């Protein structure tokens, strides 16, 4: 039995084998996929693989006369280093709220930007800061000390002198 012929077809109906449609769809989808991938690439590019900021580890020698609760802030660093009978420890001075540099004082730390207050061990006592000031890793290096700003340690970790 042959295929039915003479079916009423309007000239406006699409052709049964839409070859032109196939080409059209192929170009449409390839354009779409290309756009998607190029967007992905364009978003990928600005996200740096290597952060080119200065080294976070630095070596410091503490002054001989450093009172137990007095902070020593090495020049050029936002870190406070303390020495008491139990040992040496370092607390970051970068406010956990919005990144201002907090000021060490006798009762702890205060932030100039939005009024956050931190206790002597860095815990939040007042204001909008969401987290305590992190304690940083301190490594003894033959009379000197190496502080690593990129490594945090649990609060209360003191390195014996």
Partner 1 sequence: MSTAMQSPSALEQFWQNLRQSPRRILEATFRTGKPVTDRARSLFVFGNVFLHLHPVRVHRWTLRWTTTLGLGVASAAAFLITLVTGVLLMFYYKPYPDVAYQSIKDIHFVVPTGRLIRNLHRWAGNVMVVTVILHMARVLYTAAYRKPREFNWLVGMGLLVVTLALAFTGYLLPWDQLAYWAITIATNIAQSPRELTDALGITEYFDPGGFMRLLLLGSDTVGPEALIRFYVLHIMILPLILGILLAVHFWRVRKDGGLARPADADQRLGAPPGHLYPVFTQAPQKTYQLAAIVRGRTPAVGNGPENTVPSMPHLFYAELGVLMAVTLICLVLSLLWDAPLKELANPLVPENPAKAPWYFLGVQELVSFSAFMGGVVVPLLTIVGLGLVPFLDREEQGTGEWFGGPGGGRLALYSMLFGLAAALAVEAFVIRFGWIREWFPNVPQLLVILVNPASLLTLIYALYSIFIIRRFNSVRAGAVALFTCFLCGFVVTTAIGTYFRGPNWFFYWSPADWPKH
What is the binding site for partner 1 (CB under 8 A)?
46-48, 51-53, 76-78, 97-101, 110-115, 124-128, 130-131
Minimum CB distance to partner 1 smaller for 20 or for 114: 114
- Least spacing, CB of residue 139 vs partner 1, in Å: 22
Q: How far is the CB of 3 from partner 1 (least distance, A)?
A: 42
Q: Which is nearer to partner 1, 101 or 159 (CB)?
A: 101
Minimum CB–partner distance for residue 147 and partner 1 (Å): 15
Residue 54: CB minimum distance to partner 1, A:
9
HEC secondary structure over the chain:
CCCCCCCCCCCCCCCCCCHHHHHHHHHHHHHHHHHHHHHHHHHHCCCCCCCCCCCCEEEECCCCCCCCCCCECCCCCCEEEEEECCEEEEEECECCCCCCECEEECCEEECCCCCCEECCCCCEEECCCCCCCCEEEEEEECCEEEEEEEEEECCCCCECC
CB of 110 to partner 1, least distance (A): 6
Cβ proximity to partner 1: between 6 and 46 the closer is 46
Name the residue nearer to partner 1 (CB basis): 87 or 119. 119
**74 vs 87, beta carbon nearer partner 1:** 74
* CA 84 – CA 158 distance, rounded (Å): 9
């Amino acid at each position: 039995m042959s295929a039915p012929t003479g079916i009423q077809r309007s000239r406006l109906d699409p052709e049964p084998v839409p070859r032109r449609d196939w080409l059209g769809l192929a170009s449409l989808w390839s354009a779409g996929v290309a756009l998607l991938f190029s967007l992905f690439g364009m978003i990928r590019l600005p996200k740096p693989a290597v952060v080119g900021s200065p080294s976070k580890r630095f070596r410091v020698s503490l002054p001989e006369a450093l009172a137990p609760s007095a902070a020593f802030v090495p020049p050029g660093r936002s870190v406070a280093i303390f020495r008491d009978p139990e040992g040496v420890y370092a607390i970051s001075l970068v406010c956990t709220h919005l990144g201002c540099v907090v000021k060490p004082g006798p009762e702890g730390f205060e932030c100039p930007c939005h009024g956050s207050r931190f206790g002597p061990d860095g815990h939040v006592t007042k204001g909008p800061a969401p987290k305590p000031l992190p304690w940083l890793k301190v490594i003894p290096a033959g009379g000197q000390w190496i502080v690593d700003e990129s490594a945090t340690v649990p609060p209360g970790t003191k390195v014996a002198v």
